[in-house]
A = this chain, B = another copy of it.
Amino acid sequence: MSNRSRRRQQKRVAPLSNRISPNTGRIKFFSDEQLHSIHDATLQILETIGLSDAPQEAIRLIRDNGGKVTDSGRLTFPPNLVNEAISKLRKNFILHARVNDQSLDLSEYKVHTGTGGAAPMIADMSTHTFRQSVLDDLYDASRLVDKLDNIHFFARPMVANDMSTSIMLDINTAYASLVGTSKHVISSISAVSNVKTVHQLCSIIAGSDKNFFDKPFMSLNVNHVVPPLRFDTESCEVLIEASRFGFPVMVNTFGQMGASSPVTIAGCLVQTNAETLAGMVLAWLANKDVNAIYGARPMVTDLRTGGMAGGSGEQSLLTAAAVQLAQYYNFPNSTISGATDSKLPDNQAGYEKAINLTLAVQTGANLITQAAGTQAGLMATSLEAYVIDNEMLGAILSTGKQIEVNEETCSVEAIKKVVEGDGHFLGQAATFNRMSTDFVYPEVADRQAYDSWVANGKPNINSNAKTKVESILLEHKPNYIPKDCDTQIRKLFDIRIRI
């Protein structure tokens, strides 16, 4: 083990906060034998079909390690190389936040929920109208999320449509995220030439290259493939470059089941797995110490229309199944869960998000992106939905707790005492003591009895959420970038946020 690896391995014992942290992996969709079959079929795809449109650097890396380019120009991967990468890629690492207890331990079945996406629109819930999202929305989103306890990381959720060049977009996206929240940030880079520049921004904030290298508080989403089995040439270059610069990389693939990948869950996973592993192998060859996160996130297509059906039951099953496949490799993993096809934060949005998220949490997905705030098949963001979904996540995460069974919790003596006494447990010390540790109390969801609810003007979760959004945005205007760094940054880069 290199010194660097050893240093990193030590970091994962760092204490994390005592927020609700499921770690059970209770649901299994596949037997080991079924997972072996999927893995074997995946190796076959990578060895015999391969991927088209690989960038030169990817071809070089794979060719140097036993792979080849077919007559039709497809890059194929030998099984030995894939298996070696799987076994040697780093496991059990941490994604750092700038505040220690917000860091994300990606070992075992530990679950962290966050934002995500590249939504082009933002929804105004008062008027039920949507408009193009801009950079200021991104800052609003990051500082709102900064105050919501069950949203554990901030992945860039919306596109800043008012940025006119790719470098302006990439720099300002990172800046708007990092200035608004101290939680771990996941951003995106749209051109390989921007990797170095964004890295420079991060190093300035960290205080030095070494500081950022030791505790990278920002990672990158990379979609290196356009399914079926075609590299997005530029994104694949970004993947390689970002890995070399020490960014943790989310190796994400988005096969649409029945459209850009097979209609069966097994077939969709085989193809998506091949595409994801291709990226994992490249990231590893680019940097043997890379922190790469396996991000197969296949989506369901409504076969009547060809549109997305991210809120469907089939999506929930597919998502959770993909997580179990990541766990088969012991990879730190990421998935999308929390999509809804509804345009509004309504009943449909509530149940579609909850079904999907409940399964992802019970399966033990490490990073759940798009877990809050998305609407309209990932095409829009709603700030009110962040607040509502944050509370939903509190309930869902709490279902991931372990149940304590021991002599004390089985309560035979306590029951005897109450039965012989006044017959009520509410007044018992044990009840009072567990009140704050064992229960999550909602703030915007309503639990009033019917009469009180009427007397209080029939409040609903949407209006309560709107009030909370307005109050946070009015009061919480953080600046997590120290003043001297900020001055330096604004000299070097075209920063479009004024705070």
Query: Which A residues are closer than 8 A to B by beta carbons?
Result: 26-30, 34, 37-38, 41, 44-45, 48-49, 121, 128, 130, 228-230, 258-267, 270-271, 300-307, 309, 311-314, 316-317, 320-321, 341-355, 358-359, 362, 376-377, 379-380, 388, 392, 394-399, 401, 403-406, 408-412, 414-416, 418-419, 423-426, 428, 430-432, 434-435, 438-442, 445-447, 449-450, 453, 458, 460-462
Contacts and interface: CB of A to CB of B under 8 A. Distances in A.
Given A355-B396, A403-B317, A450-B379, A228 B303 contact: no
A302 B409 contact: no
A270 B348 contact: no
Contact of A355 (B306, B345, B376, B399): B399
Given A362-B27, A447-B305, A460-B346, A415 B270 contact: yes
A456 to B, nearest CB: 11
Contacts of A321: 403
A399 B423 CA distance: 41
Given A121-B450, A403-B266, A423-B228, A461 B347 contact: yes
B263 A430 contact: yes
A358 B399 CA distance: 11
A411 B462 contact: no
B261 A425 contact: yes
Given A263-B430, A265-B403, A348 B415 contact: no
29 contacts: A26-B29, A27-B362, A29-B403, A229-B415, A258-B425, A258-B431, A259-B424, A262-B409, A263-B428, A263-B434, A266-B410, A267-B414, A270-B412, A301-B426, A303-B431, A303-B439, A309-B439, A313-B395, A313-B397, A316-B395, A317-B401, A343-B458, A346-B460, A347-B349, A351-B351, A355-B396, A359-B399, A377-B447, A379-B449
Given A128-B458, A262-B425, A271-B415, 14 more contacts: A26-B28, A26-B29, A229-B419, A261-B425, A264-B430, A270-B415, A307-B447, A313-B397, A314-B438, A314-B439, A343-B450, A346-B461, A347-B350, A350-B350
A348 B461 contact: yes
A228 B416 CA distance: 10
Contact of A430 (B262, B270, B351): B262
